[in-house]
Structure 1
Amino acid sequence: MALESFIQLWTHRYKKYTHIFTAHALGYKARLYFKNVKSRLAKNQKLIAIVRTEHFGDIIAAEPISRYVRSLYPDAHIVWFTKPAYQCLVECNPAINEVFTEFCVTQRDVLFKGNVFDEIFELQFRNNNHCPTCNVFIENPVAERRNINIFNYFDYGNLLEVFAQTGDLIPPKTAFPGDDQPRLYLQDAQRHKVDSLNLPERFVVLHCRSNYAPKDWPSERWEQLVAWLAETYDYEIVEVGQESCLNVSTQSFRNLCGKLTILETAEVIRRASLFIGLDSGPSHLGNATGTFGIILMGSLNNFPDYNPYSGGYGRQENAVFVRQLGVPCRELTFEFVQDKVEQVMSKLEIA
């Protein structure tokens, strides 16, 4: 074995085993911490865990579960488990007492094996319970028993209904029994940041790239849409997201990609006259903030026709789904999308 390969091998092993050791140590530390939390609770007060660690659109979709669990256990100490990047989505939720930002699933596994929590509502299944460094998958027994997995989950309803079923909160394939409108809890920090952007009174927000290519619409058609909107309507066009995929020169277009936090993006969407985007995290921000949405959707893997949303978007009271049965999003023509957008814009103009 060449020296360079030898060094790479042992560097990899060092990082892996350091990670595993850290995960176990943090798991035992968290076990002690929550034992202390539980010792300070009243005699009949339950310690409850809600686990939804990713992605940010999924966490927003699952938000009504926090309020539903609170209604079931009004005196409980409720802890939401999430990845650190998404702590902001739940830390100001009044239905939650505490947010636990996990290091990895191994840490959580070690913690839960201590049997500290009285109830654990697992809102995810195998593919969300994986640490690639530890090479560990954590199963959700409820999801296994109900045969809910990455290949069939939309057969069980929208995301909120699926998560409630994997958490054993509702019977299989039933509607969510509580208020199903997702909410966000925006703070002054986000409002002040967006105030500083000096956005116009009338603007349309676009989100043009998801984290999963089969959900996307080609960039050149987005560019056509921007050009047509700029030429036809007196609205500024604001793009949000992690990274822009557009090459646009019109003066009425503004690129805010990569410049905002998740909640700052939510505040921008909240102030917009209209949101146009994909089945992705920002569309869940639109649903939660109440901005009317035009959502470009297509067939997805095993799901020729699906609806990820609850609330106003899910019932299409506050959104229009732009799709054709069995047609992937990338195959939607510009003319088809343009017609749907024009119908909504004409109503905005009248209003």
Structure 2
Amino acid sequence: MTISRFRQLWTHRYHKYSHIFKAVWLGYMAALKFLILKSELKKGRKLIAIIRTEHFGDIVAAEPLSRHVRSLHPEAYIVWFVKPAFSELVSYNPVINEVFGEFCVTQRRTLLKTGVFDEVFELQFKNNNQCAKCDVFTDNPVAEQRGINVLNYFNFGNLLNVFAKTSGLLPVDESFAGDDKPRLYLQDQHRLKVDSLGVLKPYIVIHCQSNFAPKDWPAARWEQLIEWLTANYNYQIVEIGLKSNLNVSTTSYTNLCGKLTILETAEVIRRANFFIGLDSGPSHLGNATGTYGIILMGALVTFSSYNPYSGGYGSQENAVFVRKEGLACAELSFEFVQDEVKKVLDR
């Protein structure tokens, strides 16, 4: 072994094990905090954990379950576990008592093993329960017992139904019967931020890149679509997301990528006349805000056809899915997408 390789190996091990040590320590500190909290709760009041740490579209899709858990346990102290980057999606939810910003899976596993929580509802399965630094996965026993995993989860319904079943809140052969429209809890600060942007109505919001390449539509076709839209309709085009991969020069286009928080993005979508995007986080914001959605979708891994949404997008009362059975999103032609968009805008 060379000196360089030796240094790399031990540098990796140092960072890995120092991370694990920190995670375990934070887990026990959190357990102590919740033990103290529990001792101060009224006798008989349950301490409940809801675990949905990522991704932000999944957290939005799972929101109805927070209200469902509250209806089952009206007096409970409910804690939602989430990655800090997505905490704003839960922070303003009035049925949640506390948001726990999770450091990593090892911290959570350490905390839960103490048994401080009276009930735990885990709205995810093994592939969502990984810490790359720790190189650790943790299983969800309910999902394991029911055979729900990343290869088959859409066989159990939309995301809301899947999460309800992985948590044990819903029998595996039933569908969620409550109010299934996800809600966002937008604040004045989000509205004021969007006021300051000066985006003129009417406008269409577009979202062109997901966090999973097989869900995407080629940038060149998005550019064609924008050119066609601005030439034929009186709409401004506003792009949202983390970053843009488009080359657009028209003055009718505004790039807000990377400039907004998640809930500020939701407020931009809420004010739009239409949302045109992919099966991705922002489409769930569109569903929650009630903006009509035109969703480009395709076959995904083992699913030739699927529906991730509940609410108005799920029923397609407030959305249209642009897809062809068995084709990936990238395989949808510009002409096909153009025709489907035209049907909606001309309606």
Taking structure 2 as the reference length, the TM-score comes to: 0.99
Q: Is 2:198 the counterpart of 1:203?
A: no
Aligned counterpart, 1:321: 321
Identity of matched residues, %: 67
Deviations 1:197-232 (A, max 9, x none): 011120000000111011011111111100000000
What is the CA–CA distance in structure 2 between the aligned matches of 1:44 and 1:7, rounded to whole Å?
Answer: 54
Deviations 1:23-79 (A, max 9, x none): 000000011000011111111110000000000000000000000000000000000
What is the CA–CA distance in structure 2 between the aligned matches of 1:25 and 1:306, rounded to whole Å?
Answer: 41
Aligned counterpart, 1:258: 258
Q: Which runs of 5+ in 1 are unaligned?
A: none
Q: Is the 8 A contact 1:126 1:149 kept in 2?
A: yes
Name the SS of the counterpart of 2:346 in structure 1. helix
Q: Is 2:153 the counterpart of 1:125?
A: no
Deviates more, 1:6-15 or 1:160-169: 6-15
Q: Deviation of residue 116 (structure 1)? A: 0.5
Aligned counterpart, 1:302: 302
Q: Deviation of residue 346 (structure 1)? A: 1.1
TM alignment of 1:1-351, pairs within 5 A: 1-347=1-347
Deviates more, 1:84-93 or 1:2-11: 2-11
What is the CA–CA distance in structure 2 between the aligned matches of 1:2 and 1:170, rounded to whole Å?
Answer: 56
Instruction: Letter of the 2:95 partner, please give it.
Output: A
Q: Is the 8 A contact 1:157 1:173 kept in 2?
A: no
Q: Deviation of residue 5 (structure 1)? A: 2.5
Q: Deviation of residue 148 (structure 1)? A: 0.1
Instruction: Letter of the 1:33 partner, please give it.
Output: K
Q: Deviation of residue 13 (structure 1)? A: 1.3
Name the SS of the counterpart of 2:91 in structure 1. coil
Q: Which runs of 5+ in 2 are unaligned?
A: none
Q: Deviation of residue 6 (structure 1)? A: 2.5
What is the CA–CA distance in structure 1 between the aligned matches of 2:44 and 2:346, rounded to whole Å?
Answer: 57
Instruction: Letter of the 2:189 partner, please give it.
Output: A
Name the SS of the counterpart of 2:87 in structure 1. helix
What is the CA–CA distance in structure 2 between the aligned matches of 1:90 and 1:178, rounded to whole Å?
Answer: 20
What is the CA–CA distance in structure 1 between the aligned matches of 2:281 and 2:65, rounded to whole Å?
Answer: 18
What is the CA–CA distance in structure 1 between the aligned matches of 2:60 and 2:37, rounded to whole Å?
Answer: 27
Q: Deviation of residue 14 (structure 1)? A: 1.1
Instruction: Letter of the 2:85 partner, please give it.
Output: A
Name the SS of the counterpart of 2:286 in structure 1. helix
Instruction: Letter of the 1:273 partner, please give it.
Output: N
Q: Deviation of residue 3 (structure 1)? A: 2.9
Name the SS of the counterpart of 2:204 in structure 1. strand
Name the SS of the counterpart of 1:127 in structure 2. helix
What is the CA–CA distance in structure 2 between the aligned matches of 1:16 and 1:302, rounded to whole Å?
Answer: 34
Q: Deviation of residue 273 (structure 1)? A: 0.5
Q: Deviation of residue 178 (structure 1)? A: 1.3
Q: Is the 8 A contact 1:129 1:138 kept in 2?
A: yes
Taking structure 1 as the reference length, the TM-score comes to: 0.98
Q: Deviation of residue 10 (structure 1)? A: 1.8
What is the CA–CA distance in structure 2 between the aligned matches of 1:126 and 1:83, rounded to whole Å?
Answer: 16
Report the RMSD for the aligned CA atoms in angstroms.
0.8
